[in-house]
Structure 1
Amino acid sequence: MDTTATIIFIVAAFSLGILIIMQRNNIPASLRRGLAIAAIVFIAFAFFLIVYSLTTMGS
């Protein structure tokens, strides 16, 4: 498993979530729901990657 790509994805997913939270008033209403759902999916997958990497760390 490529750890560099995984770390970059995790940082990008959390950055997207933070960006959406900080700029929620400037995002048009038509895009707000779609961006929020995409951010939730990316952050959930990032958490999965973190847990997966922790469980396979010893092997």
Structure 2
Amino acid sequence: MNTENLTIYTIVVLCLGAVLIMSRDRVPQRLKRGMALTAAIMIFLAFVFIIYSFLA
């Protein structure tokens, strides 16, 4: 697995999660759940990819 792409993906996903947490008051109510779910899935996948890269 290409670790450079994994590193970039992980940094971007963690920044997205931080931005969503910091701006939770400004997001319209109907978008909050979808954005939070998308961010949670992406963060989970980032950690799965990190573990996979250690094992591969």
Provide the alpha-carbon RMSD of the alignment.
Answer: 0.8
Shift >3 Å, 4+ stretches: none
Amino acid at match of 1:38: T
Question: For this pair of structures, how many residues does the alignment match?
Answer: 56
1:4 correspondence with 2:14: no
Greater relative CO (CA pairs within 8 A, separation 6+)? 2
Note the residue ranges of structure 1 that are not aligned, 5 or more in a row: none
Structure 1-normalised TM-score? 0.87
**Percent identity over the alignment?**
36
**TM-fit CA distance, 1:13:** 0.9
Q: Quote the residue 1:50 is aligned against.
A: 50
Note the residue ranges of structure 2 that are not aligned, 5 or more in a row: none
